[in-house]
Structure 1
Amino acid sequence: MLGFAWALGTGIAGQADEHSVRLACNNFPPHKIEQPADDGNAGFDIDIVGEALKRIGWSTEISFMPWKRALELAERGQYDGLCSCSHTKEREAKLLFSDELGAVSVGLFARSSDALAGIGSVADLKGRKVVTVGGYNLEAELIAAGAEVEATASDKNALDMLVAGNVDLLYGYELTTKHFVASDPRSSSIAYREVRRNPYYFCLSRAMPGADAAMQGFNRSLKDMAADGSVQRILDRYHVTFR
């Protein structure tokens, strides 16, 4: 087992192995938190996914690792899926995507607002030195735009590279990058500009036995959780609102 692992139990005696989903996840707070604080919050994606699977009788075993590694192992079927991921046409061949979990802000971070002047979209980044996490769908966008791409292993590493002046800009996810900005005294002048909203999903490997049925059950649970207020109660614990 790679990375840090822990399990969410279903309470179904004698069926833990038969009804266990092994998920590969990257540290992506507040969505997915490898080392929870004293409040015990593991990340709202993990909480939502765990509860939805629990309602259909599945336990969840989670291993943390860099995103690129997590994606590769899930696509190869060495893990049953990912805690959450963005949709791309290329991923459809190896992964099943749930109904939408949420939509998050994606954009550009700079050391000051002046560095964002004249940038309205990714297309304006040609020739600019931009860091993002390797394996994110954002990396392909930057390459297509002609940016000088620096791929790194984690969102925290990407912020460190920006703050150190190793790159001009960081292309990433607002909530997660701002989580790291808040705990970094060097980042007080960091500026952000949204480029777009990005829907994301729970993902299962097509190689997992019973993946189609499990995903159908997950989607039913997710719909029920939205209707009974469970999803909103989880988001409220993290002070998150999706618009």
Structure 2
Amino acid sequence: MEFPPKNGLRGFDVEVAIAAFDQVGIKASIEYMPWSRILFRAKQGKIAAALSCAKAPSRDVYIYYSTPISSTTNSYIAKQSYTGKIPQSLLDGQGKKITTVDGYTGALELKKAGIPHHSVTNDEAALNMLLKRDFDFFYSNREFIEYIAGSKNMDLQLKYFDLKQKDLHLCFSQKWPNAKTLLEQFNKGLSIIKDDGTYDRIHAKYK
């Protein structure tokens, strides 16, 4: 996980992951570090899993994906003062000045589409680039950015142009000992907390 708790809330995916593991008798601990380092350590097998990530071909070679734990909305995020053309697709970012976070699927999507962009190390840096410099868009996940922006009183400074939804997973390192067994245990625990209402109660806290 990249960011530590804010306002007493650890994050929806964090709480879901801990609760799911708890159901199968596993005590999970969460470490916070930059996303690029998280993925690097997952490749090396130095962490059990990355929380949380979307599927991407570049990750398929070193990640086992859990059952989806949440979903997120890919968005072009702009300043409230933005008055340009409203983007309807990723390609509508062509010709715009865009920032994103290195290692996120958003950065991979922009690169694959051949859309020039500037990558930074984390979401807070990208938000600062958007709000304080002459960038048109920050391409990222709406729900997570709303969470960060709200905690920093930036929420009224932003507008969102939603493009598509995608699933997020707990992403297990294939090099971690018994990773497939751990994946199966997690999926079992996730199913239990969905059936008994725990998942919905956690979700309600973040609405």
- Identical columns (%): 26
Q: 1:84, 1:202 within 8 Å by CA — same for their partners in 2?
A: yes
TM-score by length of 1: 0.79
Residue 16 of structure 1 aligns with which residue?
none
Cα distance change on mapping 1:190 and 1:71 into 2, 3 Å: same
Q: CA RMSD in A?
A: 1.8
CA contact 1:163–1:187 (8 Å) conserved in 2: no
Paired residues of 2:12 and 2:202 also in contact (CA < 8 A): yes
Q: What SS does the aligned partner of 1:188 have?
A: helix
Aligned to 1:196: 164
Change (3 A) 1:44 1:188: closer
Task: Measure how far apart 1:113 and its partner are.
Answer: 6.3
Aligned-partner Cα distance in 2 for 1:167–1:222 = 40
Q: Distance between the aligned counterparts of 1:56 and 1:181, measured in 2?
A: 34
Give the aligned partner of residue 124 of structure 2.
Answer: 156
Structure 1 CA distance for aligned equivalents of residues 182 and 5 of structure 2: 28
CA contact (8 A) 1:44 1:235 kept: yes
Per-residue deviation, residues 28-59 of structure 1 (Å, max 9, x unmatched): xxxxxx0343xx32111111101111222222
Matches within 5 A, 1:100-111: 100-111=68-79
- Report the Cα distance in structure 1 between the residues aligned to 2:155 and 2:20, rounded to whole angstroms: 37
* CA separation of 1:46 and 1:188: change in aligned 2, threshold 3 A: closer
> Could you say what secondary structure the match of 1:128 adopts?
coil
Counterpart pick for 2:59 among 91, 97, 110: 91
After superposition, give the CA deviation of every residue in 1:1-43 in whole Å (9 maximum; x if it has no partner): xxxxxxxxxxxxxxxxxxxxxxxx111xxxxxx0343xx3211
- Quick check: 1:117 aligned with 2:85? yes
Question: What is aligned with 1:65?
Answer: 33
Deviation (angstroms), 1:184: 4.7
State the partner residue of 1:131: 99
- Paired with 2:100 and 2:117, the residues of 1 have a C-alpha distance of 7
CA contact (8 A) 1:84 1:201 kept: yes
Q: Equivalent residue for 1:7?
A: none
TM-score (ref. length: structure 2): 0.92
Instruction: Verify: 1:207 aligned to 2:175, yes or no.
Output: yes
Deviation at 1:193, TM superposition (A): 0.8
In 2, Cα distance between equivalents of 1:179 and 1:99: 23
Check conservation: 1:129, 1:167, Cα contact below 8 A: yes
Question: What is residue 35 of structure 1 aligned with on the other side?
Answer: 5
Tell me the matched-pair count: 207
Distance 1:44-1:186 versus aligned 2 partners, 3 A rule: closer
The answer for the alignment partner of 2:2 in structure 1 is 26
Matching residue's letter, 2:2: N
Deviations 1:143-166 (A, max 9, x none): 233322111111111111000124
Q: Which has the larger radius of gyration?
A: 1
Gaps of 5+ in 1: 1-24, 28-33
Amino acid at match of 2:42: A
8 Å CA contact retained: 1:126, 1:145: no
Greater relative contact order (CA < 8 Å, ≥ 6 in sequence) = 2
Which structure 2 residue ranges, 5 or more long, are not aligned?
none
- Matched letter for residue 168 of structure 1: D
Aligned residue for 1:93, secondary structure, equals: coil
Maintained 8 Å contact 1:155/1:177 = yes
Q: Which aligned runs of 4 or more in structure 1 are off by greater than 6 angstroms?
A: none
Higher strand share: 1
SS of the equivalent of 1:99 reads: coil
* 2:146 aligned to which of 164, 168, 178: 178
